[in-house]
Amino acid sequence: MTEDVFDPAKSVVDRTIVVNDAVMIPWADAERSGFRRWVATLRSDGNLVPEAACWRSLDEVVTVDPDTVPDVSPEDLPGRWLFGGIFYAHFGHFLCETLSRLWALDHVGPVDGIIFYPKKKMTWPNRLIRPYQPFFDALGFQDLKIIAPNEAQRIGELVVPEQGFGVGEMAAGRPEFRTFMIKRLGQDIQPNGPEKIYVSRSRLMSKRGTILAEQRLEDLLMEDGYEIFHPQEHAIHEQIARYKAAKVIVSMDASPLHLAGFVVDPTTKVAILNRAPSRNIDDYVRQFKWFRGITPATLDTIERFWSPADKRLVRRETIGLLDYGRVGAFMAERGFVTDASKWHSLSEEEVSQAVAEREERLGTELIEYKR
């Protein structure tokens, strides 16, 4: 971005530009591999709009200006539209990046809708947006048009705000984004659910990163009165209601915590267990601190982890080994569980059995790595 240090207290209310007759080109003639992609937002004179660059973190840009701007015949889109960046299907990226400019809706006056670049080229672009309509409803935007067209568009008036959220340092958010989310998200949704929940990953697709023997963790927490919560099996309003009701939340570092970080009560106790040989956990700590004034208890015991032999090693998608003995002592000391006496580290025999079970589930050999 335009600064070297992200200041969560710094306003972005004056960092919005308006471009008349802007042209948005969602796809270049050639595609890039990886998470970066070529897009272009142009002024009427053909010059690029640098403010429309999309950032994942302070130093990690997602969109790349094409070497040559494609020769396109844009469709006309009259009216006043908010530039939203990239529309992601992945829940975590949706929360951190797709929503990151919407704070401006409380500051720029009426708009006809929000226009995004689609993350994926789909025959029917609305299929990308439809699953998230309940989320926009929970923000109070039931009647706002939201589009992510595949074709280039010439927009009558394009309002381009700066991003107010992201990952890394940007997970603290800007003041306007924090206010926007706290004020709007789920304001009509009442708390509903148990006081203590564990946010589980055990029923996610097997390629997602997780831990060995998560059932052990779930069993121990259930004995202490926790409900095992699988957020992907619940509608968004139910997820919000659960997080609002919870007085204690235990979770691995995972995307649902971004949603929880928007809506939990400031008195909620939160414990986050690192699940992979990386430090994404810091993003959630920043968010809870700046959005809700909560300092989560955090623990990282990952020393060994496994990855499928037939795939490239991606640290966020590995299978980590928690030291359950240390986890139990940590949780008991901080009041998340009442008794750590049943919390024991897995024996080598139990580790081997858990690895074999995971290999059978994945249908491939797992390779062990040490941190």
Shared-domain flag, residues 360 and 246: yes
pLDDT > 60? residue 294: yes
Shared-domain flag, residues 205 and 336: yes
Shared-domain flag, residues 219 and 355: yes
Q: In what order do the strands lie in the sheet containing 304-308? A: 210-211, 319-320, 304-308, 366-370
Model confidence at 67, pLDDT cuts 50, 70, 90, reads confident
pLDDT > 80? residue 68: no
Is residue 258 a part of any domain in this protein?
yes
Under 8 Å between Cβ of 98 and 84:
yes
Shared-domain flag, residues 175 and 256: no
Shared-domain flag, residues 268 and 138: no
Tell me the pLDDT tens digit for each residue of 99-154. Answer: 999 999 999 999 999 999 999 888 888 899 999 999 999 999 999 999 999 999 99
pLDDT > 90? residue 308: yes
Of the ranges 28-42, 165-179, 292-306, 307-321, which one carries the lowest mean pLDDT score? 28-42
Shared-domain flag, residues 170 and 206: no
Which residue from 199, 135, 172, 179 is spatially nearest to 284, judged by alpha carbons? 172
Shared-domain flag, residues 295 and 365: yes
The H or E element containing residue 238 is helix 236-245
Which has the higher per-residue pLDDT, 77 or 65?
77
- The long-range contacts involving 281-289, CB below 8 angstroms and separated by at least 24 positions, are 281/253, 282/171, 283/167, 283/168, 283/171, 283/253, 284/171, 284/253, 284/257, 284/258, 286/8, 286/169, 286/171, 286/172, 287/171, 287/172, 287/173, 287/257, 287/258, 287/261, 288/257, 288/261, 288/264, 289/172
Shared-domain flag, residues 220 and 292: yes
Shared-domain flag, residues 278 and 177: no
Shared-domain flag, residues 178 and 204: no
> Which CATH number characterizes residue 283's domain?
3.40.50
Mean pLDDT of 314-341: 96
Which of 132, 154, 184 marks a domain boundary?
184
Cα separation, 47 vs 32, in Å, equals 22
Shared-domain flag, residues 177 and 272: no
**Domain coverage including residue 217:** 196-370
pLDDT > 60? residue 33: no
Please name every residue paired with 271 in a beta bridge, in sequence order, or none if there are none. Answer: 250, 297
What is the domain count for the chain? 2
